[in-house]
Structure 1
C-alpha cells in the first residue's frame, strides 16, 4: 500500500521541499515524512500536486510514457473562440515541436478560491475560462499553447491528474489517501528524490 498526498498548491509556491532563495516550498504545506512530488507544477501555477513515498506509483503518475491525462482550468485574456479551441484540440506548433491532440472546451468561471495576489484585470478587457486536458508535459506548455492561439494565460489551475482531482480541497490544504500496488520486486524501488523531504 502506497501513501499518496493530494495537495492544492497555492500560487507562488515552489514544487520542491527546499529553496535557496527563501521562497515558499512544499515543506510549508506538507508534513508527511518521506514523500516526494510525482511531477511538477510551476511556481506561478496553482492546483493539484501529488506526492508519494512509492517509486512505482511516482513513475506511474509522472512518466511521459504513461501519458497520464492532466486537466487544467485556464483563465485567459479575451473571450476564447471556437477556432482557438479547435487549434488547441488539434495540436499547436511550439518551438520544441507540435503538441499532442488535446481536449479543450470553454467553461463557465469555476468556483475557485481567490488568488493572492489577484490577477491584473484591465477595465473593458474581458476574460474567459477553458478546461484543457493534456497527455504530455512540455515546459510551461499550457501558457505557451494559449499564447500561440492568441489568448494569453492569466491564471492556471491544475484540477485533475489521472483519477485524482482537487474536488473541494481548499488552497494550501492536503488530503492523504492510500493506493494499492500489485506485489512486484519493481515496487520496492524508492521514489525519485528532487529536493530534500521533511
Structure 2
C-alpha cells in the first residue's frame, strides 16, 4: 500500500487546525473514537510533545506519532458491498450478530490473501432488515461529502403489501410529517425525490423510491404512515455507484 508521510514544519500554519484525534482518523490510522482513546491514554506525540486532549489543535502537515511510530496517510480505497438482510451496519454488535465489518474482513481476505486490511468504515447505514448497496472507504472527507450533499441521490427498490395509489406516491414526493419513533420526540418531515411503481403482482408490488436525505428508516416510516407494510427494501444505487451484478455478501473495489 502506498504511504505518504506527513512531516511537521518549523512554523505550523495558522489556519486549518483540527483536533488531533480527527487528524489521526483522517489519515486512515483508526476510527475517531479509537484515536480519542489513544490520545487520552497518552500514546500520542504531537510536534514532539505528548498530548492528552483529543481536541488539541493539529495541522495537516504536523508530525504525529502513536507509540513512537509516525502516523502516515494511507492510500485511500473505496469499495461497494451488496449487504445481505440480517447483517447489522456496525463495527461490533452487543447481541453477537454478524456485522458488515465481519463480512467485509472475510471478503477482503479472499480478494487480497495475506494483505492487511486498511482501516475502513461504511458510509451511512442500512438497517438489519434492509439489503443492497453499501459503500466503504477510509477517505473520511469524501465520505462526509457523499453523506451531506443532497445531490448524491440514493435509489431503492421496495416491495410492499398492496399497491399505493398514484395520489399516495405523489404525496410521498410532496412530503408529509411522520410520527416520531420514540414517545417524546418530535414529528419529522420526510419526502422522496421520486416515488414510482416499478412492477406489480396480485397481492404486492415493487416501488422505486429515490431519496436525497438519510433519515432513520425513512422509507419504512413513510409507507407505514400511508398504511403499507414493507416486505423487502433494497438499495440499488448511491450517487453514480450501482449494485450491478454483486451477489449478496460480495464486495468490489470502485473508483471515485
Q: Normalising TM by the smaller chain, what interval?
A: 0.7 to 0.9
1:29 counterpart SS class: helix
The whole-number CA distance in structure 1 between the counterparts of 2:229 and 2:176 is 14
Native 8 Å contact 2:156 2:234 kept in 1 = yes
Native 8 Å contact 1:71 1:158 kept in 2 = yes
Once the two structures are TM-superposed, the CA of residue 68 in structure 1 deviates from its matched residue by: 2.2
Matched, 1:145 2:222: yes
1:34 counterpart SS class: coil
Once the two structures are TM-superposed, the CA of residue 66 in structure 1 deviates from its matched residue by: 3.9
User: Which residue number in structure 2 is paired with residue 48 of structure 1?
Assistant: 133
Once the two structures are TM-superposed, the CA of residue 67 in structure 1 deviates from its matched residue by: 4.7
The whole-number CA distance in structure 2 between the counterparts of 1:6 and 1:158 is 12
Aligned residues: 164
Higher relative contact order (CA 8 A, sep 6+): 1
For residues 22-69 of structure 1, the C-alpha deviation after alignment (integer angstroms, 9 at most, x for no partner) is 101113321343111111110111111101010111111122x54521
Q: CA RMSD in A?
A: 1.9
Structure 1: tracts of 5 or more residues without a match: 110-124, 180-198
Deviating 4+ runs (over 2 angstroms): 65-68
TM-score, scaled to structure 2: 0.60
The whole-number CA distance in structure 1 between the counterparts of 2:136 and 2:240 is 14
Residue 127 of structure 1: which of 204, 211, 216 is its match? 204
User: Which residue number in structure 2 is paired with residue 80 of structure 1?
Assistant: 164
TM-score, scaled to structure 1: 0.76
